[in-house]
Amino acid sequence: MASKIVMCDPCSRLNKSSEGFKYCTDCEDTLCTDCAALHSAVKLLASHHLVDVSVTTGNTFNIKKVCNDHEDMCYEFYCSDHDCLICRTCIANTHRTCGKIQPIEVAAKGCKSSSILEDVSKDIASLLISTKTLLEDRQKKKISVRQSKAKVLKEIAKFRQDINDHLDQLENKCRSEVDILERIISQTVGNELADADKRQHVIQEIWQQVGFFTKNGSESQLFIFLNTVRSDISRQAASLQDIIPSLETNDLEFEPLDLISVMKSFGSVKKVLSHVQ
Ligand SMILES: [Zn+2]
Ligand SMILES: [Zn+2]
Ligand SMILES: [Zn+2]
Ligand SMILES: [Zn+2]
């Protein structure tokens, strides 16, 4: 990766342009070779830290120095009594009686080999482990929720299939009830039909014979015949009167249960608690 060119800050302020090679972490300035040499020569700046410009790529030396309590002030001191950085206003306000207040540069001596660095490093390392665990856990959770979704969808489909099967069974049961009832009613109606057919034959026969005797027989023959069939005819009429009210009048009808309006839902889907491993 080609590193991009950074310009020297002091030169830029003088409207010159030169490439920066060094960076002063105290001044927060990038310096060209000339300016870096000049910087090192100034007694006041002798304690400043110059690093290669390449070190600053992707890093920042720009640390927040503004006091948390006093926006317009910078941290300049360290109070050992309270273990905290403080500004001049802090000293005047809340640390007036504190015994051990040092300028930051003094308090910072030996920081790179101090226990504070060790403690903070340990804390960071353990936090890193915790966040890594958290990250892995959340990744697992994402996968497991996706798997749960697939499982739940399968269960819904299975439930639907079970309902279908159950409905098939109920439908078949209903159909066979229709068959049975239809057979029972049809049997009665069939008997009545056969009976009506027989009656019709008997009466047709009498009718034919009346015609036959009227056309071909003597009057005495017709007379005798008419008198003998008269009682048959009145018997038939009386029997018809008796039978008609008792004829099979039943029919079939289907009355569905109102399942559709009762079934408001298929079931419920909800979040359930599962513990973080
Ligand atoms: Zn400097
Ligand atoms: Zn310069
Ligand atoms: Zn302050
Ligand atoms: Zn203090």
Inter-helix orientation angle 219-243/115-216, to 10°: 160
> How much is the average pLDDT of 199-203?
94
- Ligand positioned closest to the Cα atom of 19: 2
What percent of the chain lies above the pLDDT cut of 70? 96
pLDDT of the residue at 85: 95
Which range marks the domain in which residue 223 is found?
134-251
pTM: 0.55
Residue 75 has pLDDT above 90, yes or no: yes
> How much is the average pLDDT of 26-33?
90
- Ligand positioned closest to the Cα atom of 70: 3
Residue 275 has pLDDT above 70, yes or no: no
Q: Of 153, 162, 229, 239, which is closest to residue 196 (Cα–Cα)?
A: 239
pLDDT tens readout for residues 250-259: 899 999 999 8
Confirm whether 34 is domain-assigned.
yes
* CA of residue 30 to ligand 1 center, whole Å: 9
Confirm whether 48 is domain-assigned.
yes
> How much is the average pLDDT of 92-113?
91
Number of domains in the chain: 2
Same domain for 245 and 147, yes or no, is yes
Confirm whether 107 is domain-assigned.
no
Confirm whether 78 is domain-assigned.
no
Contact 38, 50 (CB under 8 A): no
Residue 83 has pLDDT above 70, yes or no: yes
* CA of residue 237 to ligand 1 center, whole Å: 136
* CA of residue 97 to ligand 4 center, whole Å: 7
